[in-house]
Amino acid sequence: MRSQKLRPRLLAAASVFLLIAQFPLQAGAEAIVAKEEVANFLLGNGMEVVVIPDHRAPIVTHMVWYKAGSADEPPGKSGIAHFFEHLMFKGTKTHKPGEFDAKVSEIGGNENAFTSYDYTAYHETISPDALGDMMAMEADRMRNLILTDEVIGPERDVVLEERRMRIEGDPDSLLSEEVQATLYQNHPYRVPVIGWMHEMEKLNRADATEFYDRFYTPNNAVLVVAGDVDVAAVRKMAEDTYGKVARGPDLPPRTRPTEPEQNTSRTVTMKDARVTLPSFGTQWVVPSYRTAENGEAEALDLLAEILGGGTRSRLYQALVVNDDAASGVGAYYNGTMLDDTSFTVYGAPRDKAALARLEADVAAQIQRIQRDGVTESELEKAKNRLIRSMVFAKDSPASMANIYGAALTTGSTVEDVQKWPERLQAITADQVKAVAVRYLRPRIAVTGYLLPDDSTSN
């Protein structure tokens, strides 16, 4: 139990997508890309396989991604996707609880798992000669878990404690949850990945079994293997392990309730005695890589980079470097999502009392782009930064596995990933301006405020 409490199983969406943004999807027409041979095929039972050979070091990352995240949960059963991730480390018919962890430790590997809105993923980084064993164990727990009340009850206590520690104990996390619930008026991204406490408390064996039987099937999973391996050997091992698992029933398309037209601006305010420095974050619902058309997702990635993607960005230069107004400021875009997603700008002032001024300064930077657009020079630099970060990602099989896994479980293809740099290169300054005008409208902005407790009112 203990090791699982400490293991960072839950990756909040923001972290997942910041990771993707730092190492954005690339390949294409360049020298680096020519080296990247990615194999992509289906096993007989419908399981998709991606193999990314990289022989520079004797190491391999093995990941299984399920197309099942919190946004796939039945209403009222929030948290079951993440709870189930925990249950995957329990015993199967042939392996005792904890054996999976022990095995990976024994061979000197490391392993982890995480749950997000659109997927749940399990990964191990190991020496290549252990890959067959890993696949056998991972294939085993895909269908053979023992889900008794004795298993469920104590692990539910673990995830409840995880929520208490990570969310209830952290005003910023509590605020984020309610901002999400306000931003999305209809779509299940409204519901937190970890679940609402009062619903998590009621999750039971029937819920777990139903979730398992529905989603944990080879035809709803993507195997990603990246590292010092040979494609033919991986295919053979995959067929001998995952390939033996019976195909599950075909799932209906992942069609979720979508957002209505929005007509209001909204604020969400959290006051808490633990807050010392006020901060704000403003969000908008925008298309994701899957739902966008006409390069709007790529343009949003560039807008986020130019506006607030690091120390070279307009926000940072204007409000941290030149003006000394902000202790932190930035923007990000969560593009790797199955459905319409969010674009965020945020800031914290150096001076406690200057929150409103900082917010106005950030708004002014957005308005400047909406009015005057971005320059060719900053567009070029932003493209280069995003593409360069991909080069770094290629240095790590684990990063590449992450990129492909997240893309393939959110409606993109291997080809989409590989052509991303080309598509990014084709974006014009006008397109960046256009998405700023179209999506970052103050009239429909949703802003969260985290404020120090300034009164005795309740």
Place of tokens 């202790």: 327
Q: Give ∠ CA 50-56-62 in degrees, rounded to 5.
A: 35
Choose between 33 and 191: whose C-beta lies nearer to a second copy: 191
Residue type, 315: L
Give yes or no for residue 1 binding a second copy (CB under 8 A).
no
Residue 384 CB, shortest distance to a second copy, in Å, is: 32
Chain residues 347-376 in contact with a second copy, contact rule CB under 8 A = none
Residue 272 CB, shortest distance to a second copy, in Å, is: 8
Residue 193 CB, shortest distance to a second copy, in Å, is: 14
Instruction: Give the alpha-carbon dihedral of 239, 241, 247, 253, to 10 degrees.
Output: -90
End-to-end CA distance of the chain: 37
Alpha helices per DSSP H over 89-170: 99-106, 131-143, 149-163
Among 246, 263, 276, 456, binds a second copy (CB under 8 A): 263
Burial of 351 (0-12, 13-18, 19+ CB in 10 A): middle
Choose between 146 and 437: whose C-beta lies nearer to a second copy: 437
Q: What values do phi and psi take at 64, rounded to 5?
A: -120, 125
For residues 368 and 303, the answer to whether their CB atoms sit within 8 Å is no
Name which of 28, 38, 141, 18 is nearest 90 in CA terms: 141
Chain residues 68-87 in contact with a second copy, contact rule CB under 8 A = 75-76, 78
Residue 182 CB, shortest distance to a second copy, in Å, is: 5
Give yes or no for residue 169 binding a second copy (CB under 8 A).
no
Q: Could you confirm whether 73 is annotated as catalytic?
A: no
Among 15, 105, 148, 186, binds a second copy (CB under 8 A): 186
Residues 6 or more apart whose CB falls under 8 angstroms from that of 215 comprise: 66, 67, 68, 72, 251
Residue 261 CB, shortest distance to a second copy, in Å, is: 7
Residue type, 9: R
* Rounded distance between C-alpha atoms, residue 247 and residue 343, angstroms: 38
Residue type, 83: F
Among 19, 136, 197, 277, binds a second copy (CB under 8 A): 197
Annotated catalytic residue, options 30, 48, 73, 85? 85
Among 82, 103, 190, 394, binds a second copy (CB under 8 A): 190
Span of 35-43, 50-58, 191-199, 382-390 interacting with a second copy by CB under 8 A = 191-199
Question: Residue 453 has which token pair?
Answer: 């407790």
Residues 6 or more apart whose CB falls under 8 angstroms from that of 206 comprise: none
Span of 30-38, 169-177, 286-294, 324-332 interacting with a second copy by CB under 8 A = 169-177
Residue 48 CB, shortest distance to a second copy, in Å, is: 27
Q: 291: helix, coil or strand?
A: coil
Instruction: Give the alpha-carbon dihedral of 77, 79, 83, 85, to 10 degrees.
Output: 110
Give yes or no for residue 267 binding a second copy (CB under 8 A).
yes
Choose between 21 and 160: whose C-beta lies nearer to a second copy: 160
Choose between 207 and 305: whose C-beta lies nearer to a second copy: 207
Provide the binding-site residues for a second copy, judged by CB under 8 A.
Answer: 75-76, 78, 174-175, 177-178, 181-182, 185-186, 188, 190-191, 196-199, 255-258, 260-271, 441-443, 448, 457-458
- Give me the active site residues, please: 85
